[in-house]
């Protein structure tokens, strides 16, 4: 079914819709649009929407100037075919290029709001469950918390000269979760659940324009050790999580508050630190199924065949069509 949809898109007309502060500007921008690029990240940074426009008429330097903090929504795809809804973004910066060949402007927008103090560095501490800590931030910044089983104790967590975004991403990763902000939601997802989920797409050699993979077998860890304080013996103990394959033992420079916390940290550390094959891929034919956080299968590349996880996906839309590429890693 997925392969059929991709084949149908080859002969479909590319279409898009762009809204600025709720107003549909698709028709107004159509003669100036050069390219739309949407990059979807699984974790670590905000999703981005970049729009490149010709400005020979100097409209965007004057009466059509796009203000920082404005809301942009975008979707694109094929007429009577697949449509990718990129979501809502906040205009972060505008870069103007003045040239004898013609003026251009590049608009960069982020999925997190520019007016929020989420990207301001703070130093403070929190204590309680991951859900409680996330909910504290949600109340401050106006986000709703959703996620998979985040109501477990993470002890005392220190935020030291970190942005709220970085702090939440760090402690989530530390306990085996992926944290992301999209459309007013603080979303927490278990990393191992994402990796173990089914493939949404199967790609053969004929479906791939380019593929670059690096085998990092030497970085596969067989065990991960975390120290924790035992309140009964009053001693510092350690817990080690193991797997059957791998070479070295990963020792995290972290001290858990108890054994349950150490187990979560060790499992997360073993998964985060073990990446066998990583690389980049460009598809011949676009699909809205290729987004960060999902899995797909590669066939026709010998020992590199198997299930892969998408860590970031870039969708570029222009007059000539819709192109898809991304960063991937093989599921262990």
Helix ranges restricted to H, the chain = 2-9, 26-29, 130-141, 164-174, 191-196, 259-272
Of the candidates 180, 181, 176, which has an alpha carbon nearest to the alpha carbon of residue 192? 176
3-state secondary structure of 262: helix
Of the candidates 164, 152, 86, 85, which has an alpha carbon nearest to the alpha carbon of residue 120? 164
> Given this model, what pLDDT does residue 230 score?
80
Is 60 exceeded by the pLDDT of residue 65?
Answer: yes
3-state secondary structure of 182: strand
How far is it between the farthest Cα atoms of the chain?
A: 76
Is 70 exceeded by the pLDDT of residue 150?
Answer: yes
Domain 117-192 class in CATH:
alpha beta
pLDDT bin (cut points 50, 70, 90) of residue 274 is: low
> Given this model, what pLDDT does residue 307 score?
94
> Given this model, what pLDDT does residue 224 score?
86
Q: Are 183 and 291 in contact (CB under 8 A)?
A: no
Task: Name the CATH topology of 2-110.
Answer: Elongation Factor Tu (Ef-tu); domain 3 (2.40.30)
pLDDT tens readout for residues 33-52: 999 999 999 887 789 999 99
Distance from C-alpha of 137 to C-alpha of 213, rounded to nearest angstrom: 38
| Domain boundaries 195-217+276-330, corresponding CATH code | 2.30.300.10
> Given this model, what pLDDT does residue 146 score?
87
pLDDT tens readout for residues 282-294: 999 999 999 999 9
Distance from C-alpha of 91 to C-alpha of 253, rounded to nearest angstrom: 38
- Cβ density class 228-250: b for 16+ within 10 Å, e for less: bbeeeeeeeeebbbeeeebeeeb
Q: Angle CA(180)–CA(186)–CA(192) in degrees, nearest 5?
A: 55
Half-sphere exposure (Cβ direction) of 75: Cα atoms closer than 13 Å: 10
Question: What is the crossing angle of helices 259-272 and 164-174, to 10°?
Answer: 100
Q: Matching CATH topology for 2-110 and 195-217+276-330?
A: no
pLDDT tens readout for residues 151-209: 888 888 888 899 888 898 888 888 888 888 877 788 888 888 888 899 999 999 999 99
Question: Where exactly are the structural domains of the chain?
Answer: 2-110, 117-192, 195-217+276-330, 220-271
pTM: 0.81
Of the candidates 23, 26, 33, which has an alpha carbon nearest to the alpha carbon of residue 56? 33
Task: State phi, psi for 123 to the nearest 5 degrees.
Answer: -130, 115
> Given this model, what pLDDT does residue 284 score?
94
> Given this model, what pLDDT does residue 322 score?
93
């Amino acid at each position: 079914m997925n392969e059929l949809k991709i084949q149908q898109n080859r002969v479909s007309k590319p279409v898009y819709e762009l809204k600025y502060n709720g107003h549909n500007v698709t028709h107004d921008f159509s003669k100036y649009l050069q390219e739309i690029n949407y990059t979807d990240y699984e974790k670590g940074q905000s999703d981005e929407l970049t729009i490149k426009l010709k400005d020979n008429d100097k409209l965007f330097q004057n009466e059509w100037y796009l203000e920082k903090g404005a809301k942009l929504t975008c979707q694109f795809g094929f007429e009577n075919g697949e449509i990718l809804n990129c979501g809502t973004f906040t205009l972060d910066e505008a870069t103007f290029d003045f040239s004898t060949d013609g003026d251009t402007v590049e608009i960069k927008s982020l999925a997190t709001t520019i007016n929020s103090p989420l990207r301001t560095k703070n130093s403070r501490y929190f204590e309680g469950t991951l859900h409680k800590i996330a909910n504290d931030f949600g109340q401050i910044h106006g986000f709703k918390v959703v996620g998979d089983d985040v109501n477990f104790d993470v002890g005392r967590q220190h935020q030291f000269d970190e942005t709220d975004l970085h702090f939440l991403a760090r402690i989530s990763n530390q306990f085996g979760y992926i944290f992301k902000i999209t459309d007013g939601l603080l979303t927490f997802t278990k990393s191992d659940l994402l990796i173990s989920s089914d493939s949404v797409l199967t790609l053969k050699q004929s479906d791939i324009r380019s593929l670059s993979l690096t085998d990092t077998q030497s970085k596969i860890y067989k065990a991960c050790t975390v120290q924790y304080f035992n309140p009964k013996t009053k001693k510092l103990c350690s817990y080690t999580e193991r797997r059957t394959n791998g070479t070295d033992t990963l020792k995290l420079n972290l001290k858990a508050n108890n054994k349950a916390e150490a187990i979560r940290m060790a499992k997360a550390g073993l998964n985060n630190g073990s990446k066998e094959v990583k690389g980049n891929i460009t598809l011949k034919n676009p699909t809205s199924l290729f987004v960060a956080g999902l899995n797909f299968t590669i066939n026709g590349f010998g020992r590199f065949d198997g299930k892969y996880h998408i860590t970031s996906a870039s969708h570029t839309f222009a007059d000539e069509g819709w192109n898809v590429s991304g960063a991937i890693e093989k599921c262990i």
